[in-house]
Structure 1
Amino acid sequence: MVAMERVIATDAGLVGGRRGRGRSISWRGIPFAAPPLGENRFRAPQPAPPWRGVRECDEYGAALIQEKYLTLTTPLKLQPMSEDCLTLNVFSRDSVPSALRPVMVFIHGGGFLMGMAATPIYDGTHLARTQDVVVVTIQYRFGPFGLLDLSDYATAEQPFETNLGLRDQIAALRWVRRNIAAFGGDPDNVTVFGESAGGTSVLALLASPAAKGLFAAAIAESPAPELIVDRATARVIADEFLRLLDDPARKPGAPHGAGPFPGGRARELLARASGDDIHGAGKKLMDFAQKTDIGVFLPLAPIVGDDILPQSPLRAAHAGTTHPVPLIIGNNREEGALFSRFFDLTPAVEKTVRALAGTDGDEAIRGVYRDHKRDRSRLSGDFLFWGPTSVFVDGHSAVAATYHYRYDYVTRLLKASGFGATHTTEMLAVFGSLKTYVAGFLAIADWRSVSRLVGEVQGRWAGFARHRNPGTDWPAYTTDDRQVLIIDDPSRVDTDPDAGRREVWRRLHSAAVG
């Protein structure tokens, strides 16, 4: 077996990797775009400047500015933070392949408010080594750095583009297309996958004209298809952001007698504000969205109505205009259990249901969810994730092979905690983290079962990435039979599980997008 070269040539310069455990190798912190600083702040990603010599890529790049505790990589170590965050990481077996390996590009989650590639559960080593694929994990701008619509304040000399976070993801995919063959990966066999906000990003990429041809398959884990902001609302949010940036003592949503925020002042503020100032004003937008009736409860999300995302992913799927690439998509059985411990989504649920279908919709929801704690938790999870996802599945399955799953697996500790198969728990199987020290405590007394689960999930995901086959026992979903893989130990195929709840959401969302 011939070891891979440690130093690889990219289109910007030479990068040096690090050999790791189990005959693996990785390159971490490779810039795929120029630092979004100075003139590049609030701009579409620009080409990475070339460098001379070998750039040693043995550590993750800086995380985007967010709350410090969210950047923990060990109980005692924080990842550095910076606006200069547009880097990616490549993981592979440490051997020269006989044929180019399938490539799996991962987009992290975090509600478009947080997250980083350095989070330990996203280490691609185990998945790359056991499944003989090349894993790429990327970073992108989120929150106020990447999801504000500042175009009203742009000039020819100081332009501001929209949907910077999605543009970053597209730039990373273009980097992969240009460079991944040098790392042993096949640029014509790229699967993009992501979880939560990353899964939502995958659906946005499926609906984005700019992403056409950049990936051959997609996997969306626990997406929130309606975590979007329309262009008119985004402009209201941008105006409020600038007022908060201009006056740190301002209460979010406080009335003002002025007209639109002055363009000159806006450009001055956006140029000279510190990263911490921008982050601080962005945090206050959460209060603004809760106190005012702007129609969204998360104000910073992909913006619908520009060249990157002309229509929402749900509308694109309903219209049959998503990119016709094979898709794995699904949710966890108890998505809402994680969120119900920290905040109550009931007001947002009720407001959205009324907006979707008025009183009739409210009555339909009450007909399938009871008022006890478990159903309120399930309603929140279905509202954010499963309900709209089931509608997306119906649409996309008409244009490409679509494999639908529900993740039910729980360890004894997760069950005892009351979380069950909640949001994010499937990630521990996808990356093999349940078998590492990072999350190994969750697998106490379940090692054999966990080993089976990790092997199954990784095998299905990689089999799909390699030749679009997630297993002969997993049939493609159609609206005629609605077959869903229930991932558990053992897994099974079920026909239209939770049909009553699904039908309620189908009626609500189909009426809205139609």
Structure 2
Amino acid sequence: MRSYGVTKLGRAAGGLAVALALTATHPVSFAAEAPVVEAPAGTVQGIESGDLRIFKGLPYALPPIGDARWRPPRPMPAWGGVRDAASFGPACFQPGSAGKSIYHDELPAMSEDCLTLNIWTPKDAEHAPVFVWIHGGALTNGASSEAMYDGAKLAEEGMVVVSINYRLGVLGYLAHPALSAESPRHVSGNYGLLDQIAALKWVKANIAAFGGNADNVTIAGESAGALSVMYLMASPLARGLFDKAIAESAYMVSTPELRGKRFGMESAEASGAALMNKLGAGNSLAAMRKMDAATLVKQAPATGYLPWGTIDGYVLTRQLVDTFDRGEQAPVPLIAGFNSGEIRSLRILLPPRPDSAEAYRKRIRAGYGELADTFLKFYPADDVDESMLAATRDAMYGWTAERLVRKQTAIGAPSYLYLFDHGYPAADEMGLHGFHASELPYVFGTADRTPPLWPKVPDDPVERNLSEAMRDYWSSFARSGDPSAAGQPNWPSFGHDEAYMYFAQAPQAATRPLPGRYRLHEEVMCRRHAAGDIAWNWNVGIASPPLPPEAPECQ
């Protein structure tokens, strides 16, 4: 484990003295050797595990309950006494995943009082790089306490690892004219994103007490967590709160705007108004704020409501593609990548399969016009199933990853692309080679902590070595902005001949991933964007509406 000197972590002077210092709302008994930290937020006592100190369930904002529901997070005042930090806080309210899903896991207790974070730090940490993890789950599910996100192995690489909760679903992203009217900024929505920004502000103010360097913070996330990373890179409110970014399986899709229908999407306010009417609340925020939170998060998806960020001109100023085209995103070093089998575990994203190869070709020609021959070259009709999986993967995840590193490279920020194409027997037997999120146990070193139905990762040298290599690359990037791993290939930045790292059985440096596909999907996005009334990336392949004509800005 890398050493960073002596931290300011203290130890309890004795069980009785600590107990007398506790506030009445946080009674707990501590082991004599439990670590204590005096941070600006207040004094906390966690647990010790080997060479690590672990602090769980630390509140970074006041609970968004009652009249605070659907308001920006409020700063957490410093607490008195010693706060127990031995256990995770509750998960934010969510409907949960289906029991037969490989992603399904039992969640802890849920509450609206869920704005907490967790810290894993080496005993001797001082000015150590900070790695902030934002969980995925379609902005609807997930929690920082999930076992697969345990930060111990990454912390053993010499980092201070932080994982955060943030509001989800309707509780995190509802916009409505009445909510905008009560806002000093006349905006609404984005509460879950504002939670993430509040957590980063807490880290900036407090992480030095835990041995971290507040001026060397990496934000990282997968799927909706990677979408959140892009939102944070785009938001002026998050500027200066992080120094590097990692986006695993991000998707740069079109996003609802606060007011006005655009790109085939109703405005965020209109969607919120429709939801409230369907729930029987009319225009009454008071009625919505009195509704049971568990009921809300289950009923909202049934009405067709989906949580997204909102382009409001304040938190998010414009569509992500426009922000990155204009070079207005945070100019930070970046790792971005995707998995070869993203859609194998996300088949819900696929339209129904056509009856024949000829029907497939016909629909592609109707949708893609003069680009149909190019599309069929990359995604041919001789294996429709595989072509549909590949086309949706590339249009959503591959295009996004390559676009991110291209745009960061263009503004002079070192950027690194990867493709995760690793398989192992249990996954391959289920037809899930390189499936969505399958890189996570390797990044976190938690192959023994995956959900119950997750294809079991074997405990053998190949798997252990790949995990060690990925942890080395990720942690060295967090330290210096340059991903490297002992005994592994050099990872060139994308600017060197469109280089990327290919993670299969072992890391391998290569160039030009999936050549030609990026330009195809970029052209499709650009034409739809220019037309202004068609969303991009969800309507792929046989689901594509007729492609708009070529636009001057797309030439």
How far residue 510 of structure 1 moved from its aligned partner, in angstroms, is: 3.8
Q: In angstroms, what is the RMSD of aligned CA positions?
A: 2.8
3-state secondary structure, aligned to 1:218? strand
Instruction: Give the 3 Å change call, closer, same or farther, for CA 220–75 of structure 1 in structure 2.
Output: closer
Give the alignment of 1:103-122 within 5 angstroms. Answer: 103-122=130-149
What is the SS of the residue equivalent to 2:268?
A: helix
Q: Structure 1's 133 and 271: CA in aligned 2 closer, same or farther, altered over 3 A? A: same
Shift of 1:505: 1.0
Which deviates more, 383-392 or 113-122? Answer: 383-392
- Cα distance change, pair 142–77 in 1 and its aligned pair in 2 (3 A): closer
Write the distance in 1 (CA, Å) between the matches of 2:408 and 2:527.
17
Match of 1:469 in 2: 482
- The offset of 1:456, in angstroms, is 0.5
| Corresponding residue number in structure 1 for 2:378 | 368
Q: CA deviation at 1:119?
A: 0.9
Which ranges in structure 2 are unaligned for 5 or more consecutive residues?
Answer: 11-34, 261-266, 354-359, 530-552
Matched, 1:13 2:38: no
SS at 1:223 equivalent: coil
Q: Which moved more, 1:315-324 or 1:361-370?
A: 361-370
Residue pair 2:93, 2:168 contacting (<8 A) in 1 also = no
Name the structure 2 match of 1:482. 498
How far, CA to CA, are the matches of 1:35 and 1:70 in structure 2?
28
Tell me how far 1:272 sits from its aligned partner: 1.4
Alignment of 1:325-474 (within 5 A): 325-340=332-347, 342=348, 344-345=350-351, 359-360=369-370, 364-371=374-381, 372-399=384-411, 400-435=413-448, 442-444=456-458, 447-471=460-484, 473-474=490-491
C-alpha distance in structure 1 between counterparts of 2:182 and 2:431, whole Å: 55
Q: What is the CA–CA distance in structure 1 between the aligned matches of 2:499 and 2:163, rounded to whole Å?
A: 31
AA partner of residue 149 (structure 1): A
Match of 1:244 in 2: 278
Measured against aligned partners, the alpha-carbon deviations of 1:448-473 in whole angstroms (never above 9, x if no partner) come to 00111111000000000101110271
Q: Once the two structures are superposed, what CA deviation does each residue of 1:196-247 show, in whole Å capped at 9, x if it has no partner?
A: 0001111111111111111111100000111632223212211111112217
Distance 1:494 1:139, change over 3 A: same
Secondary structure of 1:246 counterpart:
coil
Structure 1 distance, partners of 2:326, 2:83, is 46
Query: Match for 2:520: what amino acid?
Result: V
Distance 1:40 1:196, change over 3 A: same
- How many residue pairs are counted as aligned between the two chains? 473
- Deviation at residue 271 of structure 1 after TM alignment: 2.3
Contact 1:227 1:301 in 2 (8 A): no
Shift of residue 419, structure 1, vs aligned partner = 0.3
User: Higher mean Cα deviation, 275-284 or 200-209?
Assistant: 275-284
Percent of residue pairs identical: 29
CA spacing shift, 1:54–1:154, aligned 2, 3 Å: same
The alpha-carbon deviation at position 362 of structure 1 amounts to 5.6
User: Taking structure 1 as the reference length, what is the TM-score of the superposition?
Assistant: 0.85
Residue 311 of structure 2 corresponds to residue 304 of structure 1: yes
Relative to structure 1, the CA distance from residue 42 to residue 360 in structure 2 (aligned partners, 3 Å threshold; closer, same or farther) is farther
**What is the CA–CA distance in structure 1 between the aligned matches of 2:141 and 2:449, rounded to whole Å?**
24
Residue 86 (structure 1) aligned with residue 115 (structure 2): yes
TM-score normalised by length of structure 2 = 0.79
Unaligned runs of 5+ in 1: 248-260, 289-298
Distance 2:56 2:491 in 1: 35
1:360-418 Cα deviation digits (max 9, x unpaired) = 45664344213421221222222322223322332222111110110111222212221
Match of 1:234 in 2: 268
Question: Which residue does the alignment assign to 1:222?
Answer: 249
1:498 Cα offset (Å): 1.2
Greater CA drift, 327-336 or 406-415: 406-415
Residue by residue, what CA displacement relative to the aligned partner does 1:162-186 show, whole Å, maximum 9, x if unpaired? 3111111110000000000000000
String of CA shifts for 1:266-291, please: whole Å, max 9, x gaps: 222222111023213321243x6xxx
2-structure distance, mates of 1:237, 1:19: 47
Structure with greater Cα Rg: 2
2:419 counterpart SS class: strand
Does the CA contact (< 8 Å) of 2:229 and 2:246 recur in 1? yes
C-alpha separation in 2, matches of 1:280 and 1:69: 11
